[in-house]
Amino acid sequence: MITPLPSLGKTYRHMARYRELIAILMKYGFQDIVEQLNLRYYVELGKSVLLQRPAEHVTQIPRAVRVRLILEEMGTTFIKFGQIMSTRPDFIPEEFIAELKKLQDSVPPFPTPDALALIETELEAPVKELFAEFGDEPIASASIAQVYRAVLHTGEEVAVKVQRPDIQRVIEVDVEIMMNLARLAEAHLKGLEILQPVSMVEEFSRVIDNELNFHVEARNIERFAENFGQDETVQVPRVFHEFSTKRILTIEYIHGIPASDHEKLLAEGYDLPTLALTGANALVRQIFEHGFFHADPHPGNIFVVGPARVCFLDFGMMGKLDRTLQETLAALLVCIVNRDDERLTQSVLHLSTNPDDLRDTRKLRRELTDFVDRYFYVPFDKLKIGEVLEDLLSLIIRFGLKLPPEIYLLIKSLVTIEGVGRDLNPQFDIITIIKPFVERLVKRQYDPRRIASDLGRTTAELYRLLRDLPEEIRALLKFIRRGELRVDLETRSMEPVMKTWDRDANRMSFAIVLAALFVSSALIIHAHVPPLWHGMPVIGIVGFAVAIIMGLWLLIAIFLSGHL
């Protein structure tokens, strides 16, 4: 019998959502998951749902496709989860990633009166006092928010992003359910602990929390604007903080043409190859200079606002690279170009978050040599950076190495912008754009001022370490003298054994109590201990009844656990 989770009491408030999820799992042929997680133990659904079997044609559909259909049917939170996980090949098998990439938000806009009511609540003033004009219908709608065009009393045109009512509560409920299911899956589905479902949900929770907080997006826009400064090739919308809150975001309205509208761009006389170069150059600069980049640069989020000028929109999801990560990534790319397999192996290990888990360095080096040979003689204009990086990523994952989450966002961004560039110009070559940025980054590592700065920082850290060392040693000795020094050892391989022992001990205790109850009830009846009912001791009868119920309970629990 599966022990209930500590947080289960809290999730009883969400039974309807659990029922919906389990019914959909059964509908798409995942009754094996329902059985293995013993979800019936947690939620009483009734036989009509639990005994439901999927239609025969459903079981013929590939499992990955059925997972996508389940996420779509479960709605916004699960779709978002699938979209984010589609960028994480370290978590998700390749065949599932291909399906998850097909997930699309397709939710109808919510009523404008609801949006106006939220604006007035958040900004604490009537809409007419806040805006001279406000659109009757949204100009864009998505799963978390929708956008209206408005005009301030100063005459400035603005775009007002309004969060969906109750979306915060809906997502909180769904994430809580996801976390409980992830813990169950990690504990009871063999082999799934390698995929770290709990870590997947934790990562998703962090990302979605940022997307729900429009203050975060406002700060992202301002940091983005500061990075580009006076750059004439990139326009960044202005944020109006006095008309913004955690659930409302008001920014400058951008007059432009989406990068995907080629006909309109050509009608305006724009040169498409120039626009491809401008957009890609802006993103590569974000990655290798600023270390702060747009994580979803699809054509709908890039507007053309001039012959060689673009504007990025939707700053809810941004990637961040610190200086060390930037330089390690640059060194890795240089090693690929220079066909330096030995240093490439070192760069991969430096980039990895778990290099000590690698068991065969020589085999990794051989695989990396083969990887470089596959692409070394391919002309740059024929080479796809997305294909190269995804191939490298697949190789790294095969060796059980993990990379920082930012690297997966970076690859997604480069793949997306490369696709946008090739749509605008079939001869588009992003590697030529990347090359000078990488070269500058590598040269910067050997700049005398940089070396002096690093040396000064290292000296200061060494001084602090030596200064604090005597005090740390004294504290350690004090713990030893008091007998308070404790070493915690974790034996992961013993966890399943301990759980089995714990379960068996509980059942043994239950059985002993049950036997004692039977024996004591029999003695009471034999001794005719009052009070009596129809000549039989009441206490003895009640004792037998309780013992029978407890015995049936124990048998059912053993039967449901599958261990007779």
CATH number, residue 144: 3.30.200.20
Average pLDDT (159-178) is 91
Q: Which strand (E) or helix (H) includes residue 131?
A: strand 131-134
The reply to whether 159 and 137 lie within a common domain is yes
At residue 560, the pLDDT reads 59
Average pLDDT (380-398) is 81
E strands, 442-548, where? Answer: 532-533, 536-537
CA distance 97 to 65: 10
Q: Which domain holds residue 455?
A: 450-481
Residue 3: pLDDT band (50, 70, 90) is very low
Q: Which strand (E) or helix (H) includes residue 148?
A: strand 145-152
Instruction: Count the domains in the chain.
Output: 4
113 assigned to some structural domain:
yes
Q: What tokens does 151 get?
A: 């005009």
Give phi and psi for 157, each to the nearest 5.
Answer: -80, 135
Q: What is the DSSP string of 525-541?
A: HHHTPSSEETTEEHHHH
Spatial CA neighbour of 562 closest among 46, 188, 184, 21: 188
The reply to whether 147 and 174 lie within a common domain is yes
Cis peptide before 531 (omega within 30 of 0): yes
Pairing of strands 318-320, 292-294: antiparallel
509 assigned to some structural domain:
yes
Phi-psi region at 542: left, alpha or beta (left = phi > 0; alpha = psi -120 to 50): alpha
- Checking if the pLDDT of 222 tops 60, the result is yes
Residue 488: pLDDT band (50, 70, 90) is low
175 assigned to some structural domain:
yes
Least confident of 30-44, 216-230, 264-278, 522-536: 30-44
184 or 213, which is more confident? 213
At residue 14, the pLDDT reads 73
The reply to whether 425 and 523 lie within a common domain is no
The reply to whether 316 and 413 lie within a common domain is yes
The reply to whether 274 and 232 lie within a common domain is no
- What is the average pLDDT value for the chain, to the nearest integer? 82
* 90-113 pLDDT tens trace: 677 778 888 888 887 667 889 999
At residue 135, the pLDDT reads 94
205 assigned to some structural domain:
yes
The reply to whether 232 and 271 lie within a common domain is no
E strands, 323-460, where? Answer: none
Tokens 């978002």 belong to: 80
At residue 111, the pLDDT reads 94
pLDDT > 90 in the chain, percent: 29
180: Cβ contacts below 8 Å, ≥ 6 apart: 5, 7, 8, 11
Cα 319 to Cα 145, 287, 293, 557: the distances in Å are 21, 9, 5, 48
The domain boundary, picked from 188, 220, 253, lies at 253
The reply to whether 224 and 209 lie within a common domain is yes
255 or 491, which is more confident? 255
At residue 4, the pLDDT reads 39
The reply to whether 244 and 272 lie within a common domain is no
* 269-306 pLDDT tens trace: 999 999 999 999 999 999 999 999 999 898 889 999 99
pLDDT > 70 in the chain, percent: 85
The reply to whether 409 and 461 lie within a common domain is no
Residue 500: pLDDT band (50, 70, 90) is low
CB 293 within 8 A of CB 327: no
The reply to whether 457 and 441 lie within a common domain is no
Q: What positions carry a catalytic annotation?
A: 296
